[in-house]
Amino acid sequence: MPEPLTPLARRLRRDATHAERKVWNMLRERPLGFKFRRQQPVEGFIADFACFEAKLVIEIDGGQHFDNAEDAARSAKLEAAGWTVIRFWNVEVHESMDGIYDRVAEALRALKHVQQPPHPADDFQD
């Protein structure tokens, strides 16, 4: 049975912002070894990006999110349900995709319940 938020999530995927598209292009090929879904219903909210294996939500925020109490409450509810939420501003996405990648990788490493994939260089050690 589809979740009630599914039609809205589909529309948000279709109408993604430029910043969301850039982040999705980074995450979609699983360079960090984890599957992310975009505009995904999670705990009654639609997350910009969600990794169910790691219980990590990534939000990309524009100016309308500045000092937004609803965003803080949403993050608190997700975290109470066991999710980790990290947020990036659109400007961060446009200025430093390497920084975004590093912070997502760092968040995944910090999650103790996640089994990290082996580094490719490990295959060449004796």
The pLDDT of residue 42: 93
The pLDDT of residue 126: 46
Could you list the residue range(s) of the whole structural domain that residue 69 is in? 6-113
Q: Give the total number of structural domains in the chain.
A: 1
> Mean pLDDT per 10-residue run, the chain (126 residues)?
70 87 94 94 93 96 67 91 95 93 94 60 52
Residue 121 within any structural domain of the chain: no
Tokens matching residue 126: 């004796």
Residue 91 within any structural domain of the chain: yes
d(CA 98, CA 13): 23
Residue 124 within any structural domain of the chain: no
Residue 122 within any structural domain of the chain: no
Residue 70 within any structural domain of the chain: yes
The pLDDT of residue 60: 95
CATH number of the structural domain spanning residue 21: 3.40.960.10
Residue 123 within any structural domain of the chain: no
Residue 119 within any structural domain of the chain: no
